[in-house]
Amino acid sequence: MPVSVNSSKAIYDALKACGIRLVSALPETWLVHLIRMAEDDPEMILVRLAKEEEGVGISAGAHFAGVSSAMLMQNHGFLASINGIVSFALLYRIPLLMLISYRGSFGEKDPWQTQGGKVTEPLLRALGIPYFCLQTTESVPIRIKQAQELSASSLQPVALLLTRDLMWEE
Amino acid sequence: MLRLDCLRAVHPQLEKCVVVTIMGAIAAELQSVGHRPNFFYLQHAMGLASSTGLGIALSLPAQTIVVFDGDGSVLMNLGTFSTMARYRPRNLIHIVFDNESLLSVGGFPTATSTGTDLAEIAKAAGIPRTAVVSDCAGFVEAVNDALVAKDLTTIVAKVEAIGPAKFVTDLTLLENRFEFSRYLRTLRR
């Protein structure tokens, strides 16, 4: 499976470096290595979800308790979480660090991903959620650190879009 | 059985617990019985109170977390049963007040009014301890048993579809959120 191990490792190491101790996730092809890394790490609490919106509540609970967390999801999982993001994270000023695999954009071969790809960035903008498209492995550590810092200082969700260029090698 | 009587009856036990409630009647009634800094009322995001409780339970394993859920809310997030069961935090007590109604928005009947059994759903999802209670003494006993058992428990409390006259209280959402968070951070080991 040509999912980039190097980029996955860079992302995971960056999450660890900024103190992330809990990760919620729902499996998706581009996230397989990241989820495996969280699973193999005894210092990390990995919560495998039934639906991504649960992750908003779990991250909020962890934040209340002083534990930094991150959410791993596909952009369709972001779409499935929108009520939770609006009526919990935005309403109650909850910092969410959302790592979203950006399916359905340039180079997408799976027809079923294509509509979600079109609406991901417009929806992030409509919600006022700051985001950055991660395209190179080299940019991962600094951008994840910056995203976590902005999320923590603003007490609001911040998103990193994991692009095909970053996650897929073929 | 009235939900308000249930809340009054277990209010003393809640002093040493971390409490998360859903919106609407439960939030207003618990506040009317007596607000404490360890109570958080999730005044929207229906379905996520139990997920919030799970996040707290995993983050603060030495604390007992009590979630007051409702049939309408939990029906919006049935997957929460399988996620809670999967991680089985032994410090989480999930109480569902089942009035078979979306009371706060006009009393429309939910699927529990036509036979959906939330305790059986919880059990089938893998929640190790479940109970159904329909009188106040039974409710108090089930809560006390769960506190002693120290294992993940779902209690379905069948209550009447009667609520408070109004749902908005003097406690603002953000005031509650920051007070609660500040309190929880004093509990870190």
Predicted pLDDT of residue B189: 55
Question: What tens digit of pLDDT does each residue of B125-134 get?
Answer: 999 999 999 9
- DSSP class of residue A93 equals T
Question: What tens digit of pLDDT does each residue of B129-157 get?
Answer: 999 999 999 999 999 999 999 999 999 99
Chain A residues close to B54, C-beta within 8 Å = 47, 54, 57-58, 61
| A74 CB burial (10 A radius; 0-12, 13-18, 19+) | buried
pLDDT in tens, chain A (170 residues): 799 999 999 999 999 999 999 999 998 999 999 999 999 999 999 999 999 999 999 999 999 999 999 999 999 999 999 999 999 999 999 999 999 999 999 999 999 999 999 999 999 999 999 999 999 999 999 999 999 999 999 999 999 999 999 999 97
Sign of the Cα torsion A153, A156, A157, A158 reads negative
B180 in contact with A, Cβ within 8 Å = yes
Q: Nearest residue of B to residue A63 by CA position?
A: B181
Predicted pLDDT of residue B106: 82
Residues 6+ apart with CB under 8 A from A36: none
Domain regions of chain B by residue span: 3-185
> Can you tell me the distance from the alpha carbon of B136 to that of B63, in angstroms, rounded to the nearest whole number?
25
Question: What tens digit of pLDDT does each residue of B6-28 get?
Answer: 999 999 999 999 999 999 999 99
A52 in contact with B, Cβ within 8 Å = no
Predicted pLDDT of residue A123: 98
CA dihedral B57, B75, B85, A84 (to 10 degrees): -40
Please state the length of chain A: 170
H/E run at residue B67: strand B65-70
Window 71-90 of B: residues touching A by CB (8 A cutoff) are 77, 79-80, 82-83, 86-87
CATH number of the domain residue A119 falls in: 3.40.50.970
CA dihedral A103, A29, A164, A80 (to 10 degrees): 30
| Number of separate domains in chain A | 1
Residues B99-111, mean pLDDT to the nearest whole number: 90
- Whether residue B88 has pLDDT greater than 80: yes
> Can you tell me the distance from the alpha carbon of A38 to that of B157, in angstroms, rounded to the nearest whole number?
37
Residue B97 corresponds to which tokens in the numbers above?
Answer: 């007040």
Geometric angle at alpha carbon A160, from A159 and A163, rounded to 5°: 140
Contact B77 A58 (CB under 8 A): no
Chain centre to alpha carbon of residue A26? 10
> Can you tell me the distance from the alpha carbon of A110 to that of A93, in angstroms, rounded to the nearest whole number?
36
Domain of A46 in residue numbering reads as 5-167
- For domain B3-185, the question of CATH label 3.90.1300.10 is answered with no
Q: What is the ipTM of this complex?
A: 0.97
Band of pLDDT at residue B171, cut at 50, 70 and 90: very high
- Whether residue B188 has pLDDT greater than 80: no
Q: How far apart are the first and last CA of chain A?
A: 9
What burial letters (b/e) apply to A81-92, b meaning 16+ CB within 10 Å?
Answer: bebbbebbbbbb
Band of pLDDT at residue B104, cut at 50, 70 and 90: confident
For B120, the 3-state DSSP assignment is helix
**Residue for token pair 């997408």:** A108
DSSP conformation letters of A22-84: EEEE---GGGHHHHHHHHH-TT-EEEE-SSTHHHHHHHHHHHHTT--EEEEEEHHHHHHTHHH
Q: How close A13 gets to chain B, by Cα (Å)?
A: 21
H/E run at residue A7: helix A5-17
Beta strands in A128-167 (DSSP E): 131-134, 158-162
Residues B65-84, mean pLDDT to the nearest whole number: 98
- DSSP class of residue B58 equals H
Residues 6+ apart with CB under 8 A from A134: A11, A140, A143, A160, A161, A162, A163, A166
**Short-list A42, A30, A34, CA closest to A8:** A34
> Can you tell me the distance from the alpha carbon of A35 to that of A17, in angstroms, rounded to the nearest whole number?
17
Select from A60, A67, A93 the Cβ nearest to the Cβ of B52: A60
